[in-house]
């Protein structure tokens, strides 16, 4: 059964979801790159999808290795600052 939303509730939701050019937005730090293009930010969780036997686990392992090394593994470059790493 669908919930009925009142008109004033729609207006509140619409106003809360609007983006304004005058507002300042926090951009998550880019911590994972491939050939200069950002593929991961701090707090961004994604899924690796593809056909069966298409080396998904291999790629995820290389990404994790780059993050653990805080360096480059197979063109995956992780750049974790000391602010990102818990003490």
The pLDDT value given to residue 81: 66
The pLDDT value given to residue 1: 57
* 77/31 Cα distance (integer angstroms): 8
Q: DSSP letter for 4, please.
A: P
pLDDT of residue 86 exceeding 70: no
**Residue extents of the structural domains in the chain:** 26-78
pLDDT in tens, 5-56: 888 899 999 988 888 889 888 888 887 777 778 777 877 767 778 888 988 8
Backbone angles phi, psi at 44, to 5 degrees: -95, 120
């Amino acid at each position: 059964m669908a919930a009925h939303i009142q008109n004033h509730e729609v207006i509140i939701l619409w106003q809360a979801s609007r983006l304004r050019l005058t507002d300042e937005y926090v951009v998550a730090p880019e911590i994972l790159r491939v050939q200069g293009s950002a593929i991961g930010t701090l707090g961004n969780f994604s899924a690796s999808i593809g056909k069966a036997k298409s080396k998904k686990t291999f790629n995820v392992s290389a990404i994790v290795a780059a993050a653990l090394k805080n360096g480059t593994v197979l063109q995956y470059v992780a750049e974790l600052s000391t602010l990102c790493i818990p003490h």
